[in-house]
Amino acid sequence: MKKSPGTTRYVFIAAYVIILAAVILAASALGGVKEIKDITVAGCTVSETFTDHLGIALAGTAPSGTVITAETGTETVSASVRGNSFILRLRIPELDRITVHLKAARDDGSTVCETEWEGTPGTWVPNDSWAVVTGEDSQLFLKKALMDPQGVTVMDDDYMEALEERIRSRIDTIHKDLPDTEFIYLLVPTTATMYPDRIPSEYALTDGETAYDQMKALLERAGATVIDPRDELREHKNDDMPIYYMTDSHWTQYGAYFAYEKLFSYISSKYPAAAPRGLDDFSWEPGQYRAGDLAYYLSLPQKDLPELCYTRKLPQGVPEEISDIQVFTDDESRFYESFGVLAKEVIDTGRPELPSALIYRDSYSVALYDIVAERFSRTYMRGCFDYGWKPNEILEEKPDYVIFIYCEYNFDAITDS
């Protein structure tokens, strides 16, 4: 049947619309860095109070690939623009109206743009658990995450001895019925541990043993295996893809990969089929998302402070039970508010050649949730933050591995549960 010119035209237009929609969808998902020509201040707030000055976070957007410099008349500070966003740490003697001259420049020193901002920093009253420190070079920290690098959380000998005995007793109790079940602790370092150079000078750091070091040693003495990814993360801390976020307290999916690799390199010595996937097995899609929990705690406008994130995409052929996992529930966020895997879940991949696991976890588990479950035949994921010790649950499940995934500022999940 011969088509009329009008029909052909409509078919062409329809096809064009479909292609254009696909391009727009791909662009929104893979947005990455935007072309920004000017400096915009999104917010300015007091983050810390000292006896003789205040710590200030001045945050906004600027052209990608530049260094932003702020001059206040009393100090000059600089920070990298990450993606399109920056966070400057300023110090002022008291809460008052300030004038800040801002300049964005390339590595060769050439000025791209500049502006002046004037205003009074906002104030906020933090919950002690969620107090935020504005670090150097566009980095925010949870204040409690600084305690370990400062040596504040170091345990005394009597406490460590009692804790070691309690953990040994638990392992021995399980081994009476399940002698082959292995206990593994994946100890996740914080941003502060991995980037001590970004911690402000007001916070003195220890050059001695930390609670992380102590916990690792006592767990090993108690009969557990410890996965310590600090060295691997240090090797990649300056990669193009970040291992930790600038506005969020968690590690990225890219950073979590190196802990996953170390965990399953160890497990595969006993179960070869559980060998970790290579980094190149995954694709990494860049996109800009509203800022994370640390920006929220500081009352900075999250939508006006986009963070460049790389989302890990699974390869073709993974079991449907894995590919159907919705790690993130919000297309505009890659942070805690969008975490879709916090509840208890049992995941069966139907692969008998793989081991099984029961996993205790905090929110740092989310970044490797699906790729961990893909390397087990059956994974019993306890609810996030459900730290309570339940030996009967382990005895009923009969896992090959009991795994604990805890960030170092959540070590009280080990000491108190």
Domain CATH for 83: 2.60.40
CA atoms within 13 A on the CB side of 264: 23
Q: 411 to each of 173, 204, 219, 291, 395, how far by Cα in Å?
A: 22, 22, 12, 26, 24
Q: Is the pLDDT of residue 195 over 60?
A: yes
337 confidence band (pLDDT: 50, 70, 90): confident
> Closest by alpha carbon to 49, among 119, 138, 136, 124?
124
Co-location of 242 and 372 in the same domain = yes
Co-location of 96 and 155 in the same domain = no
Q: Judge whether 33 lies within some domain.
A: no
Q: Is the pLDDT of residue 4 over 70?
A: no
Q: Is the pLDDT of residue 3 over 70?
A: no
Co-location of 303 and 365 in the same domain = yes
Q: Judge whether 132 lies within some domain.
A: no
Q: Judge whether 342 lies within some domain.
A: yes
Q: Is the pLDDT of residue 16 over 70?
A: no
What is the spatial distance between Cα 396 and Cα 180, in angstroms, rounded to a whole number? 14
12 confidence band (pLDDT: 50, 70, 90): very low
Sign of the CA dihedral 347, 284, 254, 86? negative
Co-location of 208 and 311 in the same domain = yes
Where helices occur in 83-224 by DSSP H, the ranges are: 147-150, 157-177, 191-194, 211-221
Q: Judge whether 316 lies within some domain.
A: yes
What is the spatial distance between Cα 20 and Cα 7, in angstroms, rounded to a whole number? 20
Long-range contacts, 293-296 (Cβ 8 Å, 24+): 293/130, 293/247, 293/248, 293/249, 293/250, 293/335, 293/336, 293/337, 294/132, 294/140, 294/141, 294/142, 294/247, 294/248, 294/249, 295/59, 295/140, 295/247, 295/248
Co-location of 119 and 174 in the same domain = no
Q: Judge whether 291 lies within some domain.
A: yes
Sign of the CA dihedral 397, 187, 371, 342? positive
Co-location of 258 and 311 in the same domain = yes
Minimum mean pLDDT range among 18-32, 80-94, 172-186, 396-410: 18-32
CB 62 within 8 A of CB 86: yes
Which one-letter DSSP state was computed for residue 249? S
Co-location of 269 and 343 in the same domain = yes
Burial label for 169, CB within 10 Å (0-12, 13-18, 19+), is exposed
Out of 106, 123, 140, pick the residue that ends a domain. 123
Q: What does the buried/exposed string (b/e) look like for 7-34 if buried means 16 or more CB atoms within 10 Å of the residue's CB?
A: eeeeeeeeeeeeeeeeeeeeeeeebbbe
Out of 53, 88, 123, pick the residue that ends a domain. 123
Co-location of 271 and 368 in the same domain = yes
Co-location of 221 and 100 in the same domain = no
Co-location of 226 and 281 in the same domain = yes
Q: Judge whether 18 lies within some domain.
A: no
Q: What does the buried/exposed string (b/e) look like for 99-138 if buried means 16 or more CB atoms within 10 Å of the residue's CB?
A: ebebbbbeeeeeebbbeebeeebeeeeeeeeebbbbbbbb
Q: What is the pLDDT of residue 10?
A: 37
Among left, alpha and beta (phi > 0; psi -120 to 50; other), residue 235 is alpha
Average pLDDT over residues 276-281: 97
pLDDT tens track for 304-329: 999 999 999 999 999 999 999 999 99
31 confidence band (pLDDT: 50, 70, 90): low
Co-location of 158 and 116 in the same domain = no
Domain residues for the domain of 59 are 40-123
**Collapsed DSSP state (helix, strand, coil) of residue 391:** helix
Q: Judge whether 364 lies within some domain.
A: yes
Number of structural domains, the chain?
2
Q: Judge whether 17 lies within some domain.
A: no
What is the spatial distance between Cα 181 and Cα 378, in angstroms, rounded to a whole number? 14
Co-location of 92 and 190 in the same domain = no
**Whole-prediction pTM:** 0.90
Q: Is the pLDDT of residue 19 over 70?
A: no
CA atoms within 13 A on the CB side of 368: 28
> Closest by alpha carbon to 147, among 415, 413, 412, 416?
412
The mean pLDDT of the chain is: 91
Determine what percent of the chain is predicted with pLDDT higher than 70.
92
Q: What is the pLDDT of residue 191?
A: 97
Identity of the residue numbered 213: D
pLDDT tens track for 144-164: 999 999 999 999 999 999 999
